[in-house]
Amino acid sequence: MTVIIDISNKRWFAEKEAVVYTSFSTETLREARDLNQLPFRKKGTKIIYEKKDLDAYMESLDLHKDGRIKTYKKHTA
């Protein structure tokens, strides 16, 4: 059975939705969160990410040609 998640108009993403949206593994998102590279909120016991924060995180990455993360470039606001 295939589950389809419609994330086209979402502002907030549960962790599984963030994985689908970014194409990153759960471990990659957790590492970014633990290193304070990716803002998040807790909703009860669940971790949620705001779409704009996921977009900013993805834009901040320096990637290898094969898509692996090379470095994280911290943005200064």
Q: What is the mean pLDDT of the chain?
A: 84
Q: Where are the domains of the chain?
A: 12-72
Helix (H) or strand (E) holding 27: helix 26-34
CA 3 to chain centre: 20
> For 47-77, what is each residue's pLDDT tens digit?
999 999 999 998 888 766 666 666 666 654 4
Q: Report CA dihedral (46, 52, 55, 57) to the nearest 10 degrees.
A: -70
